[in-house]
Structure 1
Amino acid sequence: MAAAANRQLQETVVTGLRRGACPTLAAPMETGDGLLVRLRPAGGALTVAQLKALASAAASCGNGILEITARGNLQVRGLRPDSVGTLALAIDAAGIVVPPGPAIELSPLHGIDSAELGDAAALEAQLRSTLAGKLQSADIAPKLAILVDGRGVFCLDHLSADIRIVALAGHDWLVAAGGTARVAWHVFSGGIDGAVTAVGHVLDILIATGRHSRARDIDIETLHAAFPEAPQSISFSPSRTPVPGILALPDGRAVLGLRPRFGQMRADALRAFLADLADDIEIRLAPDRQLFLTGLAAAEAETLAVRAGSCGFSADPVDPSANIAACAGAGACASGFYDTRKLAARIIDTAPDLLDGSLTVHLSGCAKGCAHPQAALTLAGRGNAYALSMNGKAGDPPDATIAGGGIESAIERLAQLAGTERRAGETVAACLQRLGASTIAKALQQD
């Protein structure tokens, strides 16, 4: 089935590319460094051999840059129209199954976490087999977010989803629509068959609402009418989000969580890291630009955590680079005005106080904002200058414009300002919000 799907992708002619669509193998997205493809393997899992093969294909078919997105998907950059089919062939040859339709996100520990209340992978398989026609409908939004949470050691409450299916005690499942776990609308609770049927009804509503509709487009009265016996609000105990580091499992094995610096991996460094890994180790993709290595002995996990640093990965859950979202930047992308990675390293070295975890610093080489579509403390390349938005997107009107040569001193002044003006117990984000964009802009543009 996977081979047939991939062969169909190989025959696809790359035409009519547009931004805003999900950049799959069948519909790559044009960027400043060529074509970009996003994929999520079944279960979000790859073997060591499969990831090695994908790294090699990224180097031969693209520019050798792979990325893990904020939702735990893989991206291959720098492809050409004539190399997309070759990439699809390599994916097929490696035995990587990329299910058609929207990505279905699972916890990185699904199937190996003894604390899980439900089998998320089994539910994903039933969704895809039972609802294949709806999931693959041309009317379904390509970026529709579907999440299956088995409620184990790691949970996915913080992730927003159009449809979320959450395991309950007693082998039951909760189906909810829209938003994070805190705000999603509960529409069904019960056994797995009923949960799959309920998901199908939500997909029907999305299709009827309009082509490429998302959960936010559904009128609440429509949901009430479709699910008149919807469960009352169900509360969950506080959950732990996936974070880098070593996690000991009850069976004596260990899991190692790693975050590539700024979510980006170079094919040669990735292959070097994977070179000596045993074939039975599995790599699980995770939200917040992470990957998890499973099936490790405790000592092996400790050794790999140290070695990972030289290959561009961090096992530190509070690594300051996690607070910086940086695009490919100049040198890797023709649209990039500046070297985002170089500036990111400079910020970590000279302005670490900005990276207290209360805000995201978004470094965008141009106004497109590929690395972080949400509002943040944003520096976007504009012509030969930097557009600074205190809490905006890369394409928003800036709060200040900083000449190219003055960006490092401006960043240092911003860090000094935050350090001087912060009140006891106040975060950097709260301090900057209190000071206001106009005050900060004046301070940054002082000679």
Structure 2
Amino acid sequence: MAFGEQTGRSAREEARSAFMRRGACPTLVQPMRTGDGLLARLRPTGGIFSIRQFIQLAEAAQRHGNGTLEITARGSLQIRGLQGETVQPLAADLDAAGISVPAGPIIELSPLHGITPDEIGNPLEIEARLREKFAAELLSPLLAPKLSILIDGGDSYGLAAVTGDIRVTAVSRGVWRVAVNGDEQTALPLLTGSADAAVHAIGDLLHLLVSLGQHKRCRDIERRRLLAVFPSMEGVLATAPERKGPLVGTLALANGSAILGVRPRFGQLQAAELIAFLAAAEALGATQVRPSPGRIFFLAGLHSQSAASLTDIAAGYGLSADIDDAAAHIAACAGAGACASGQFQTKARAERLVAIAGELLDGSMVVHLSGCAKGCAHSRRTLSIVGTDEGYNLILDGVASDTPDAQFASGGINSAIEKLARFIKNERQAGESTAACLRRFGKDDVIKAMRQE
């Protein structure tokens, strides 16, 4: 497996050792044991695969795993069903395909960088400078395994809604804003300045995190310490414009080319279907695949007509290019059979939810189906249905680990969900969203309605 800027066997082994010491999230170096074998997570340099590389990755997942791939809420890829003896052959195949996965914390770039005409700054340039100048710091075993660094070029389809420890956003030509701990609206701004100033600021934050001790996050840094390093932070404007998140469907560009965004159903792909779809995409001119937050991946290099052709066939391969697809409003983890902690089959439950409870899936909230209280598929407050030893916990506005508002036996959950959907349909006012209706009635009345005979 290639590791970005690291070259030579000793540097590669050093990077691998760093990952092992940090107990990082599942990677090819240290995959995670799940109910269907080992799971490895990866993100390529710059967030870009060539179409041929993505086909080779799917073939390798089929050859060395169980053929199931997933795209996470943050746009990373997961390969499932690996075994101890197949991890290194998989890594060798990806290395042979020229897929480079840098060591250290994940650096997320706005998914359409270098393509969209309204991009303000080049995230790839910031990443390259950062990896060159602070390569040793990025490999520190003291950094938190889930430390996230976001670099957003300021285009319409960037990372505005994605939370991060450190976020760098282009705000005007040649000017970047560095902020910590949040999304574009909530993160605390520290400075604005040139690309060099932004890179130095990231380095200062890495040094500060290391000085605090092992596995600290930006939320652990006291304000007084931030002020000591960034004395002008109180004068930095915190306002940020509203921007769109990445969307499925066709984005036509002024030069006549087009980008197609597709979403795997509930974030999961079968390698055989993916390979066939990618072969069709390659034949129609697609040159790149870019995984994106929102469990989407983009195909670049198309024209409007070829994008339309791919849209027409996507559903036959378990993919959707429909912006109104109700399934997009469900966050489902791997579930029973794929995860040792899963208490129910989340994908089957998700399909059932689409069939019986469309009223819940109007886009005003996410319905989170979690096989256990860890809540891996969705970290924000929402309507959560959580598997337990006895059945299901229902949390109307919270995360999977919260105290449940109601509990249902396994045999009663379908009826409860149908009653909830019917309640929303009957009680929602004109123009009112599902989320607003639930807030208006409150938890007690909603739970009462779900328990009525």
**Shared topology, TM-score over 0.5?**
yes
- CA displacement 1:62-110 (0-9 Å, x = unmatched): 2221111111111112222222222211211111000111111111211
Counterpart code for 2:232: E
CA contact (8 A) 2:22 2:144 kept: no
- 1:156 aligned partner: 159
What is residue 105 of structure 1 aligned with on the other side?
A: 108
Partner AA of 1:428 in structure 2:
T
Q: Does 1:228 align with 2:234?
A: no
Match of 1:369? Answer: 375
The letter of the residue matching 1:324 is I
Q: 1:228 to 1:370 in 2, by over 3 A?
A: closer
Contact 1:9–1:85 (8 Å) recurs in 2 = no
Q: Which residue in 1 is equivalent to 2:89?
A: 86
Q: Contact (CA 8 Å) 1:10, 1:84: kept in 2 or not?
A: no
Residue identity in the other structure for 1:84 = V
For the 8 Å contact 1:259–1:291, the answer to whether it is kept is yes
Aligned-pair CA distance for 1:381: 2.0
Distance 1:333 1:200, change over 3 A: closer
Equivalent position amino acid for 1:118 in 2: G
AA in 2 matched with 1:102: P
Matching of residue 420 in structure 1 with residue 426 in structure 2: yes
Deviations 1:110-143 (A, max 9, x none): 1122321111111111111111111111111111
1:145 aligns with 2:151: no
Relative to structure 1, is the Cα distance of residues 170 and 403 closer, same or farther in structure 2, using a 3 angstrom cutoff?
Answer: closer
CA-based RMSD of the aligned residues comes to 2.5
Match of 1:286 in 2: 292
Structure 2 partner of 1:190: 193
Quick check: 2:45–2:101 contact (8 Å CA) kept in 1? yes
Structure 1, 413-422 or 5-14: larger mean CA deviation:
5-14
Aligned to 1:247: 251
Corresponding residue for residue 270 of structure 2: 266
> Given the superposition, is the C-alpha separation of residues 33 and 397 from structure 1 closer, same or farther in structure 2, using an over 3 Å criterion?
farther
Report if aligned partners of 1:67, 1:76 keep a CA contact under 8 Å in 2: yes
Q: For each residue in 1:225-260, what CA deviation from the matched residue of structure 2 results, as whole angstroms up to 9, or x when unmatched? A: 111133520544432221111001111100001111
- The 1-side partners of 2:183 and 2:21 are apart by 33
1:346-357 mapped onto 2 (5 Å cutoff): 346-357=352-363
- State whether structure 2 residue 320 is matched by structure 1 residue 314: yes
Kept in 1, the 8 Å contact 2:74–2:293? The answer is yes
Q: Deviation at 1:11?
A: 8.2
CA distance in 2, matches of 1:430, 1:293: 35
Distance (Å, rounded) in 2 between the aligned partners of 1:46 and 1:438? 49
Which segment drifts farther, 375-384 or 268-277? Answer: 375-384
1:4–1:290: structure 2 CA closer, same or farther, 3 Å change rule?
farther
Separation in 1 of the partners of 2:357 and 2:107? 38
Cα-to-partner distance string for 1:271-294 (whole Å, 9 max, x where unaligned) = 111123327610011111111111
CA offsets 1:347-395 (integer angstroms, 9 cap, x no match): 1122111111122111123333332233332222222522222223334
Tell me the equivalent position of 1:135. Answer: 138
Deviation at 1:13, TM superposition (A): 13
Could you tell me which of 279, 295, 300 is aligned with 1:275? 279
Q: Following TM superposition, by how much is the alpha carbon of 1:422 offset from its aligned partner in structure 2, in angstroms?
A: 2.2
- Is the Cα contact below 8 Å between 2:18 and 2:139 reproduced in 1? no
Over the matched positions of the two proteins, sequence identity in percent amounts to: 48
- Measured at CA, do residues 17 and 115 of structure 1 come closer, stay the same or move farther in structure 2, by a change above 3 Å? closer
Letter in 2 for 1:137: S
Structure-1-length-normalised TM-score? 0.93
* Aligned counterpart, 2:217: 214
Q: Partner of 1:58 in structure 2? A: 61
Which residue is equivalent to 1:302?
308
**Structure 1 partner of 2:351:** 345
SS in 2 for 1:188: strand
1:206-226 deviations in Å (ceiling 9; x for gaps): 111221111111111111111
Q: Relative to structure 2, which stretch is displaced further, 418-427 or 352-361?
A: 418-427
Q: More displaced, 316-325 or 329-338?
A: 329-338
1:408 maps onto 2:411 in alignment: no
Distance change >3 Å, CA 10–CA 189, structure 1 → 2:
closer
CA distance in 2, matches of 1:72, 1:261: 14
Please give the per-residue CA displacement for 1:276-319, whole angstroms capped at 9, x wherever unaligned: 33276100111111111111011000011111111111111221
Task: Indicate conservation of the 8 Å contact 1:254/1:295, yes or no.
Answer: yes
Matched, 1:438 2:441: no
What is the number of residues matched between the two proteins? 445
SS in 2 for 1:123: helix
Q: What's the counterpart of residue 29 of structure 1?
A: 32
